[in-house]
Amino acid sequence: MPLVYLVVRATDRGSSTFVDLLVRDRTAELVVRSVELAVAVTAACLVIGIGSAWLVTRTDVAGRRFLRVALGLPLALPSYVAAFSWITLWPDSAGFRGSFVVLVTLSYPYVYLPVLGALRRCDPALEDAARTLGLGRWAVFRRVVLPQLRPAATGGGLLVGLYVLSDYGAVATMRYEVLTHAIYRSYQASFDRTPAAVLACVLAALTLAVLVVEGRLRRRRGPVAAGAAPIRPQPVHALGRWRWPALLLPVGVLTLALGVPAWGLRRWSVRGSSQADPAELWAAAQNSLLVGVVAAAAVMVLAVPVAFLTVRHPGRWAGAAERAAYLGHALPGVVVGLGLVFFGVRFARPWYQELPLLVFGYVVLFLSLGLGAVQASVAQVPPVLEAVARTLGRTAFGAWRSVTLRLILPGVAAGAALVALAAMKELPATLFLRPTGWDSLATGLWGHLQAQSYAAAAPYGVAIVALAAVPTALLLAVGDRRRTEGAAGR
């Protein structure tokens, strides 16, 4: 729906204005920059993600158990926090270089996590067979292991691409003009919002193109193992004297991804004379929590029925609802924010710049996040349990409540938590949709950073990392571990 209003608003001034704005050199330049950045970051993430996943599962590199979890954590860090730390540490990095480094260090887990899972599912017997057929170690990796990782790696790579296209915090901090950054600037800078709408349409089209590619790739499945592969211990390569030097890759990545932001937060707090107003900070924290919780509740109200529909009664309607949810997640926050602004101005005036519209924006953006968690837990409840409960004297609803609901509750809670945390971190959509004068932790931090009052920004940064980033990271790590252990136990 935000998409529709975006198109409506973009073509408002007549199609000739739309076309004029569309074919400007500047538009082309922005598109090229966005795509360049996305491609470069994705390539780097593929190398780092696959390499570190292989290191921590297939070699005896020191401390691999700790690394396995820690390497997934940077995903949860807000890009504006990381970017500001980088620019404090290395002021010259502004522009492409800085954006590249920040986005790579934050988004490589999108590749790392699925590849980690895929590596654990590989049947080692295939590798043994390849070795006996005369292939060397490297040839085995290239011709046997890599093809098995392809679906996971391409899926992850596309997520990285989507993330880069939609990121606003990092590129805005690095003052690198790509589409998201340009959209927000042109929205703020002038009363004529048509250029912003046109650019947002372009960005949306770009995202949709990535989605179409993803759909194609997913249909063309990767190689499927013949029969269910039994879970066997994975072969571990002894690195010998490389055991410690090999640490350089994961530890280096972690230092850049987590160390620099931690250093940055410390550094800000001792720099400058500005000071955070505790009352404002407290109010912002309350605001963040409030919208996070309300958004999570709203998402769950929608996600639970949709999850049941898609898992238990897959069909045309269920498929459409699911695709709509995933489309919303893929759209950049800037696009959703801007679309809803136009919608609010025209059709929901009383809601415009009020919290309900902001919450609605979060629902559009994060519905699929909650849906995924609920779907996974619904899929794990065999329908036969409900059938048994009914033969034991429970009504249809009673059986659902006493068995199925009870069993999906952890999944619902985890999904709700993910949504709440994501909403608390979200910057661009919040900037577009927040009520005037209303600040959450994210927008408060952003405001102080823009005003260069670093010391005042520091407590906001700490609060956001403590309230949103750390719990998200833990949730993801625990979720991943439980999934892999569940698979191994079966």
Partner 1 sequence: MRPIAVEGLHRRFPGRPPTTALDGIDLDVAAGSLVAVLGPSGCGKTTLLRLVAGLDRPDAGTIRIGDELVEGPGHHVAPHRRGVGLVPQQGALFPHLDVAGNVAFGLHRRPRPDRARRVDDLLALVGLAGAGSRRPDQLSGGQQQRVALARALAPEPSVVLLDEPFSALDTGLRASLRAEVAQLLRDAGMTAMLVTHDQVEALTMADRVAVVRDGRVVQVGAPDELYRRPVDGWVGTFLGDAVRVPGRRTGDRTATGPLGDVELADGFAHHDGPEVMLFVRPEQLRPDEPGEDPTVPAVVVGTRFQGPDTLVELALDAGATVTARWSSTTGARLGDRVDLAVHGPVLAHRPAAPSDDD
Task: Output 319 or 382, the one with its CB closest to partner 1.
Answer: 382
Contact 468, 417 (CB under 8 A): no
Closest approach, Cβ 384 to partner 1, in A, equals 5
Closest approach, Cβ 186 to partner 1, in A, equals 51
Closest approach, Cβ 396 to partner 1, in A, equals 8
Which secondary structure element, helix H or strand E, spans residue 67, and what is its range? helix 64-70
> Among 469, 355, 379, 372, which residue's Cα sits nearest to residue 416?
372
The residues facing 237 across adjacent strands are 59
Closest approach, Cβ 430 to partner 1, in A, equals 38
Task: Output 115 or 304, the one with its CB closest to partner 1.
Answer: 304
Contact 451, 432 (CB under 8 A): no
Task: Output 63 or 486, the one with its CB closest to partner 1.
Answer: 486
Task: Output 75 or 378, the one with its CB closest to partner 1.
Answer: 378
Any idea which residue has 């609605």 for tokens?
A: 360
Task: Output 121 or 394, the one with its CB closest to partner 1.
Answer: 394
Closest approach, Cβ 393 to partner 1, in A, equals 5
Distance CA 447, CA 453 (A): 9
CB atoms within 10 A of CB 98: 22
Residues 6+ apart with CB under 8 A from 87: 93, 94, 98, 173, 174
Closest approach, Cβ 392 to partner 1, in A, equals 3
Distance CA 104, CA 40 (A): 9
Any idea which residue has 């999934």 for tokens?
A: 483
Closest approach, Cβ 412 to partner 1, in A, equals 14
Task: Output 142 or 401, the one with its CB closest to partner 1.
Answer: 401
Contact 407, 386 (CB under 8 A): no
Contact 183, 196 (CB under 8 A): yes
Closest approach, Cβ 74 to partner 1, in A, equals 34
Spacing of C-alpha 142 from chain mean position: 29
Task: Output 15 or 395, the one with its CB closest to partner 1.
Answer: 395
Distance CA 454, CA 275 (A): 9
Sign of CA dihedral 159, 160, 161, 162: positive
Point out which residues bind partner 1 (CB under 8 A).
382, 384-385, 387-396, 398-399, 402-403, 406-407
Closest approach, Cβ 482 to partner 1, in A, equals 14
Task: Output 167 or 386, the one with its CB closest to partner 1.
Answer: 386
Task: Output 79 or 404, the one with its CB closest to partner 1.
Answer: 404
Distance CA 78, CA 92 (A): 21
Distance CA 393, CA 399 (A): 9
Locate 177 and state its tokens: 């003009």
Phi, psi of 24 (to 5 degrees): -60, 150
